[in-house]
Amino acid sequence: MGAFNEENNVALLAIVTVDHSATAQTTLFTVPSGFRLAGIDKVDIEAAGDEADTDITIGQVGALTDYIGTTQLDNLDAQYDSITVKPIQADPPVKKKSYSAGTVIQVDVTVANGNAGNTYLFFGTLKPE
């Protein structure tokens, strides 16, 4: 299930290739049977090329925005540039959603103006149900 960091209980749960050249949804992770995704900790995105003017959202199927709302990838303007996406801390603190077994987490490319071959590293915390 990925590399586990015991210090903060965060694991790299999936590495997925995402096409930013077409508006579509791509599955990043499906919560396995017997587990609960106690929280998505972050998603790192490595660009395949100039991804400027590409917009994405991330969340469970049906919502697609309950982790990250519309996010512009304008600062990914060259191959191998990377960013980390996660909710910005606020007052009150941002809550982490909890997802049951079988929940599918997807990225939704809502504005496509990039390239195929972008790498998404999906980090989260799994716990037995």
Q: Where are the domains of the chain?
A: 4-128
Contact predicate 25/64, CB 8 Å: yes
Q: Considering the domain 4-128 in this protein, what is its CATH number? A: 2.60.120
pLDDT tens for each residue of 64-76: 898 999 999 999 9
- Separation of alpha carbons 10 and 21, rounded Å: 31
First to last CA, the chain: 16
Contact predicate 36/127, CB 8 Å: yes
- Tokens 């508006």 found at: 23
pLDDT tens for each residue of 24-74: 999 999 999 999 999 899 999 999 999 999 999 999 999 889 899 999 999
